[in-house]
């Protein structure tokens, strides 16, 4: 492109194959096909089959469980501070209510709209509306808790996704466990750990104080704005608070905090260890304290530790109640069977397409490049899918649809450039190719736009369908179809 | 392609438009009736209505399977060719579901189970409606930008709406339920249906030459084009029908129906409309 004269000379020198392998589109398409094959087949890491493709649960075997949060996000309009509204509502409804932004509070139990409205009005605010779900912070901590639970099992292929609506309220969380059947999946998700607090007595010795059943609530990590120290607040029931007080006094932690760390364990593994603060030591020596806070330090590190500690304090229990909204499982055997059907369907579709274009054009010089272009589109698509999208049944359907539309557009190009069976001059050819590509671009734009909502909405399996569709169209429009245009030009002008 | 006797230039444009328009009217009535009866334009499957679906691979006969699940609310059982079955059950509570899972896996350890709660189904429903709405609006915007002429653009958008409506009606007639998969297929039809319409409208409005020749050329290309997609999807349909993979064959069926509607609408309605439009705006032959 930089040196026009040289290019022109080159073009005159090379014809047919020689010109083709110098065309940027053809080169790009070739490189991508090779790269894709490498991505699909190169033996890296541990993998199950002969390819690196990632498969969805319905092809690989595994289970998914989708949980619905039994909580409400209430939108209010308030003349007073939102936290005042939240604390008033918490009293009325007798549950935890936290403000999540200036006009929204999260109520951690499910109430009817009338109950919520009454509570909001009692707090002196105007009720705007309510949605089932939780705010971002709670959704994040649910995700962390579920992840730590499934990871502790050593299952490697696990996905936990919070499904957030357009309004920013998370209503569902979806857990996908590859290679795990339904019974096991339900056990894992429902499993709770054993949380214990012990106090250091002498040297490495510790003494039991209380178990996780005494912890009645855990807050999300917060930073003390004055000191910049992160911490997790939690509340003990009265019996727990009393046991904690007695433990501290007996071991001497109230008199000499530094020598008697408070240790926390999850399933017998130490997750936190720090001394009482002097203030707390002083007040605990006088009376039991229910509301405690474990600080974890400053900055990013402190925040991360706080988040981990929150998960441990909850011992696998979620901050809000959940209900199973949907679930599904596919056995490995059924998944293998589906895979075989998909491969047969793909080959049959390709054969069908090849037959149709053969009957239409009857010249192998056109049919062959057409089918090869189509195959290379699919190969590139699969190559990219290795990195960004797992293939499930819906995605395979999209793949076969891409195969069909891909050929469609090659037909448009071929007919446009081969007008009346004559091979036009290069100038006219290029003009026609551009026109054909314009038609293709317009229809590609509509398909992309029609599929786009599916990506944003996260309608579970349909996301893959939409992504594969859009990707297939983009690869075709941007790379392989222009390349095909050049190839056909060279082939036709040779005749 | 002399075999196809449809001569796009011979028929009266109004008649060309009348047949698809009548089809659309009938389809609209079917869809409205279904909506009144079920609350959705197409009878909803378990994805939207809630319920449980079980896929089995077994040597057992249909009767044996029915007997095994006698204690449960078995609503339908479909049989594939190679000993595979697709069973549907009514909605269950969480506890019933857990117990049901154990029962299935005890008898058929390789079963595939899918369960959707009624609430979740409703959420999916409202999201699917939104997706459909946005897809249509987006498509309309692209079409208007591409053609910048009101009537031709409206015709293409209408062809898309009609395509979806007729497909929905035919789904009802054939008993194909609305699931997440068929919703995706319907959305895809929005893209497909404008495909050949864009080809036709672009060729007729933006190219030089005689209207008859442009129509003929566009039809020629468009027909081959739709038939290649059709054949690819037909192949997928048969393979997945024989193998009994509902996700695949329901998507394929919807796309096939939609592609046929698309042929009728592009080459009947839109072609007729374009001939009328060009006849009115410019005398035959001369376009810029």
Give the closest of A439, A450, A462 to B191, CB-based.
A450
* Residue that is last in its domain, among A173, A191, A209: A191
Contact B195 A453 (CB under 8 A): no
- A45 and A98 assigned to the same domain: no
The reply to whether B111 falls in a domain is yes
The reply to whether A407 falls in a domain is yes
Contact between residue B53 and residue B86 where contact means Cβ atoms under 8 Å apart? yes
Q: Is the pLDDT of residue A159 over 90?
A: no
DSSP A209-274: EEEGGGEEEEPPPEE-TTT-EEEEEEEE-HHHHHHHHHHHHHHTTTT-GGGS-EEEEETTEEEEEE
In terms of pLDDT, which residue wins out, B164 or B206?
A: B164
* Tens digit of each residue's pLDDT (9 = 90 or more) over B245-265: 888 999 999 999 999 998 888
Q: Is the pLDDT of residue B9 over 80?
A: no
- Mean pLDDT value across residues A346-369: 88
Contact B251 A338 (CB under 8 A): no
Q: How confident is the model at residue A12 (pLDDT cuts 50, 70, 90)?
A: very low
The reply to whether B172 falls in a domain is yes
- Mean pLDDT value across residues B169-179: 91
The reply to whether B8 falls in a domain is no
Q: Is the pLDDT of residue A192 over 80?
A: no
% of chain A at pLDDT higher than 70: 91
- Specify the number of domains making up chain B: 2
- A346 and A435 assigned to the same domain: yes
Q: What is the pLDDT of residue A11?
A: 40
Contact between residue A19 and residue A7 where contact means Cβ atoms under 8 Å apart? no
- B62 and B92 assigned to the same domain: yes
- B234 and B259 assigned to the same domain: yes
- B158 and B67 assigned to the same domain: no
Most confident range, picked from A7-16, A38-47, B165-174, B192-201: B165-174
Q: Is the pLDDT of residue B165 over 60?
A: yes
The reply to whether B3 falls in a domain is no
* Residue that is last in its domain, among B61, B92, B116: B116
In a mutational test of the A interface, the residue from B180, B236, B259 whose CB has the highest number of chain A CBs within 10 Å is B236
* Tens digit of each residue's pLDDT (9 = 90 or more) over A294-326: 888 888 888 888 888 887 887 777 778 888 888
Least confident of A46-60, A69-83, A275-289: A46-60
- Mean pLDDT value across residues B170-190: 89
The reply to whether B125 falls in a domain is yes
Q: What is the pLDDT of residue A423?
A: 61
Q: Is the pLDDT of residue A73 over 50?
A: yes
Checking ipTM against 0.85, whether it exceeds it is: no
The reply to whether A259 falls in a domain is yes
Contact B248 A401 (CB under 8 A): no
The residue segments making up the domain with residue A273 are 195-297
**Burial call A137-151: b when 16+ CB within 10 Å, e when fewer:** ebbebbbbbbebbbe
Contact A328 B252 (CB under 8 A): no
In a mutational test of the A interface, the residue from B4, B48, B102, B112 whose CB has the highest number of chain A CBs within 10 Å is B112
Give the closest of B55, B202, B229 to A405, CB-based.
B229
Contact B248 A396 (CB under 8 A): yes
Distance between CA B62 and CA B83 in Å, rounded?
9
- B112 and B123 assigned to the same domain: no
Query: How many inter-chain contacts (A to B, CB under 8 Å) are there?
Result: 249
- B78 and B199 assigned to the same domain: no
- B125 and B83 assigned to the same domain: no
Distance between CA A210 and CA A199 in Å, rounded?
10
- B243 and B136 assigned to the same domain: yes
Look at residues A282, A246, A307 and name the one whose alpha carbon lies nearest to residue A294: A307
Look at residues A369, A419, A357, A411 and name the one whose alpha carbon lies nearest to residue B222: A411
In a mutational test of the B interface, the residue from A450, A472, A474 whose CB has the highest number of chain B CBs within 10 Å is A450
The reply to whether A476 falls in a domain is yes
In a mutational test of the B interface, the residue from A336, A393, A400 whose CB has the highest number of chain B CBs within 10 Å is A400
Q: Is the pLDDT of residue A5 over 80?
A: no
What's the CATH number where A276 sits?
3.30.1360.200
* Residue that is last in its domain, among A156, A191, A226: A191
Q: What is the pLDDT of residue A152?
A: 64
Distance between CA B178 and CA B136 in Å, rounded?
18
- B133 and B218 assigned to the same domain: yes
- Mean pLDDT value across residues B179-191: 86
What's the CATH number where B94 sits?
3.30.70.980
The reply to whether B1 falls in a domain is no
The reply to whether A325 falls in a domain is no
What's the CATH number where A414 sits?
1.20.1640.10
% of chain B at pLDDT higher than 70: 94
Contact B247 A397 (CB under 8 A): yes
- Specify the number of domains making up chain A: 3
The residues with which B112 forms a beta bridge, in sequence order, are B55
- Mean pLDDT value across residues A426-445: 79
B199 touches chain A (CB under 8 A): yes
- B149 and B107 assigned to the same domain: no
- B23 and B155 assigned to the same domain: yes
- A141 and A158 assigned to the same domain: yes
**Burial call B84-98: b when 16+ CB within 10 Å, e when fewer:** bbbbbbebbeeeebb
Give the closest of B139, B202, B230 to A446, CB-based.
B139
Give the closest of A338, A394, A408 to B228, CB-based.
A408
Contact B115 A327 (CB under 8 A): yes
- A204 and A178 assigned to the same domain: no
The reply to whether A124 falls in a domain is yes
Distance between CA A330 and CA A181 in Å, rounded?
8
- A109 and A245 assigned to the same domain: no
- B164 and B203 assigned to the same domain: yes
A200 phi and psi angles, rounded to 5 deg: -65, 130
Q: What is the pLDDT of residue A419?
A: 63
The reply to whether B5 falls in a domain is no
Q: Is the pLDDT of residue B186 over 80?
A: yes
The reply to whether A49 falls in a domain is yes
Contact A327 B57 (CB under 8 A): no
Contact between residue B51 and residue B88 where contact means Cβ atoms under 8 Å apart? yes
The residues with which B87 forms a beta bridge, in sequence order, are B54, B77
DSSP A476: I
Minimum Cα–Cα distance from A461: chain B residue:
B180
- A129 and A75 assigned to the same domain: yes
Least confident of A164-173, A259-268, A340-349, B2-11: B2-11
Minimum Cα–Cα distance from B58: chain A residue:
A334
Nearest-CA distance from A321 to chain B in Å?
14
* Residue that is last in its domain, among B92, B116, B140: B116
In terms of pLDDT, which residue wins out, A150 or A460?
A: A150
Q: Is the pLDDT of residue B40 over 90?
A: no
Nearest-CA distance from B200 to chain A in Å?
10
Query: For residue B185, which residues of chain A lie inside 8 Å, CB to CB?
Result: 397
Q: How confident is the model at residue A7 (pLDDT cuts 50, 70, 90)?
A: very low
B138 touches chain A (CB under 8 A): yes
The reply to whether A50 falls in a domain is yes
Distance between CA A458 and CA A455 in Å, rounded?
6
Q: What is the pLDDT of residue B2?
A: 43
Number of helices and strands in chain A (H, E): 17, 16
Least confident of A235-249, A323-337, A429-443: A429-443
The residue segments making up the domain with residue B207 are 13-45+119-281
Q: How confident is the model at residue B28 (pLDDT cuts 50, 70, 90)?
A: very high
* Residue that is last in its domain, among A164, A191, A218: A191
Q: What is the pLDDT of residue A10?
A: 41
What's the CATH number where B219 sits?
1.20.1640.10
Minimum Cα–Cα distance from A357: chain B residue:
B228
What's the whole-number average pLDDT of chain A?
Answer: 82
* Residue that is last in its domain, among B65, B98, B116: B116
The reply to whether B140 falls in a domain is yes
Query: For residue B220, which residues of chain A lie inside 8 Å, CB to CB?
Result: 415
* Tens digit of each residue's pLDDT (9 = 90 or more) over A393-429: 889 988 988 888 888 888 878 877 776 555 667 777 7
Contact A348 B236 (CB under 8 A): yes
Distance between CA A276 and CA A295 in Å, rounded?
10
Q: What is the pLDDT of residue B3?
A: 46
% of chain A at pLDDT higher than 90: 7
- B112 and B242 assigned to the same domain: no
Contact A337 B191 (CB under 8 A): no
Q: What is the pLDDT of residue B5?
A: 56
Q: What is the pLDDT of residue A285?
A: 85
* Tens digit of each residue's pLDDT (9 = 90 or more) over B56-70: 888 888 888 888 988
Q: Is the pLDDT of residue A445 over 50?
A: yes
The reply to whether A401 falls in a domain is yes
- A56 and A66 assigned to the same domain: no
Give the closest of B117, B183, B245 to A324, CB-based.
B117
């Amino acid at each position: 492109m930089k040196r026009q004269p040289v290019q022109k000379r080159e073009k005159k020198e090379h014809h047919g194959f020689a010109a083709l392998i110098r065309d940027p589109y053809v080169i790009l398409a070739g490189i991508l096909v090779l790269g894709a094959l490498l991505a699909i087949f190169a033996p890296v890491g541990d993998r199950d089959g002969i390819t690196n493709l990632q498969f969805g649960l319905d092809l690989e075997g595994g289970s998914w469980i989708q949980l619905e949060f039994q909580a409400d996000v209430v939108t209010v309009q308030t003349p007073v501070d939102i936290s005042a509204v939240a604390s008033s509502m918490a009293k009325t409804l007798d549950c935890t209510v936290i403000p999540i932004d200036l006009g929204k509070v999260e109520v951690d139990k499910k109430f009817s709209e009338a109950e919520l409205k009454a509570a909001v009005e009692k707090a002196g605010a105007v009720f705007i509306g309510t949605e089932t779900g939780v705010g971002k912070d709670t959704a994040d901590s649910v995700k962390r808790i579920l992840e730590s639970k499934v990871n502790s099992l050593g299952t490697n292929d696990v996905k936990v996704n919070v499904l957030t609506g357009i309004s920013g309220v998370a209503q569902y969380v979806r857990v996908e466990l590859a290679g795990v059947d339904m019974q096991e999946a339900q056990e894992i998700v429902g499993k709770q750990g054993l949380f214990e607090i012990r106090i250091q007595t002498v040297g490495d010795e510790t003494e039991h104080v209380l178990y996780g059943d005494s912890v009645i609530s855990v807050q999300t990590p917060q930073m003390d704005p004055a000191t910049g120290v992160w911490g997790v607040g939690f509340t003990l029931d009265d019996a727990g608070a009393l046991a904690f007080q007695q433990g501290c006094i007996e071991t001497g932690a109230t008199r000499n905090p530094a020598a008697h760390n408070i240790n926390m364990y999850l399933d017998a593994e130490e997750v936190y260890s720090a001394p009482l603060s002097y203030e707390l030591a002083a007040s605990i020596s006088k009376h039991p304290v229910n509301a405690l806070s474990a600080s974890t330090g400053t900055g990013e590190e402190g925040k991360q530790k706080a988040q981990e500690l929150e998960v441990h304090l909850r011992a696998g229990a979620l901050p809000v109640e959940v209900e199973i909204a949907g679930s599904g499982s596919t056995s490995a055997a059924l998944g293998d069977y589906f895979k075989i059907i998909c491969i047969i369907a793909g080959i049959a579709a390709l054969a069908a397409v090849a037959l149709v274009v053969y009957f239409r054009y009857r010249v192998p010089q056109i049919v062959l490049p057409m089918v090869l272009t189509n195959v290379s589109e699919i190969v590139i698509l699969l190559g990219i899918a290795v990195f960004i999208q797992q293939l499930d049944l819906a995605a395979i359907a999209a793949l076969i649809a891409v195969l069909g539309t891909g050929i469609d557009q090659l037909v448009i190009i071929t007919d446009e450039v081969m007008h009346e069976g004559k091979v036009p001059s290069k100038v006219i050819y290029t003009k026609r190719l551009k026109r054909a590509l314009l038609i293709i671009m317009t229809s590609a734009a509509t398909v992309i736009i029609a599929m786009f909502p599916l990506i944003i909405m996260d309608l579970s399996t349909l996301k893959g369908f939409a992504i594969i569709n859009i990707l297939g169209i983009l690869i075709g429009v941007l790379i392989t179809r222009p390349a095909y245009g050049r190839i056909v030009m060279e082939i036709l002008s040779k005749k | 392609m002399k075999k196809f006797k449809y001569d796009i230039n011979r028929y009266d444009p109004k008649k060309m438009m009348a047949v698809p328009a009548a089809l659309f009217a009938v389809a609209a009535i079917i869809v409205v009736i279904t909506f009144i009866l079920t609350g959705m334009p197409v009878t909803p499957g378990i994805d939207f209505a809630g319920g449980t679906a079980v896929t089995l691979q077994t040597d057992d006969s249909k009767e044996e399977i029915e007997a095994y699940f006698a204690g449960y609310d078995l609503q339908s059982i479909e049989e594939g060719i190679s000993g595979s079955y697709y069973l549907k059950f009514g909605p269950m509570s969480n506890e019933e579901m857990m117990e049901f899972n154990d029962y299935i896996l005890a008898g058929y350890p390789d079963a595939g189970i899918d369960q959707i709660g009624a609430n979740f189904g409703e959420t999916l429903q409202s999201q699917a409606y939104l997706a459909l709405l946005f897809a249509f609006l987006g498509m309309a915007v692209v079409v208007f930008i591409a053609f910048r002429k009101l009537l031709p653009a409206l015709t293409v958008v209408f062809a898309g709406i009609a395509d979806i409506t007729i497909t929905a009606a035919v789904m009802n007639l054939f008993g194909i339920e609305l699931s997440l998969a068929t919703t995706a297929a319907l959305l895809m039809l929005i893209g497909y249906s404008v495909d050949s319409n864009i080809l036709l409208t672009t060729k007729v409005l933006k190219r030089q030459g005689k209207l008859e020749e442009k129509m003929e050329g566009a039809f020629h290309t468009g027909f081959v084009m739709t038939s290649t997609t059709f054949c690819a999807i037909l192949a997928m349909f048969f393979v997945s029908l024989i193998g009994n993979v509902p996700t695949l064959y329901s998507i394929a069926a919807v796309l096939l129906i939609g592609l046929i509607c698309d042929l009728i609408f592009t080459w009947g309605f839109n072609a007729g409309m374009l001939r009328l439009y060009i006849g009115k705006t410019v005398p035959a032959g001369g376009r810029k």
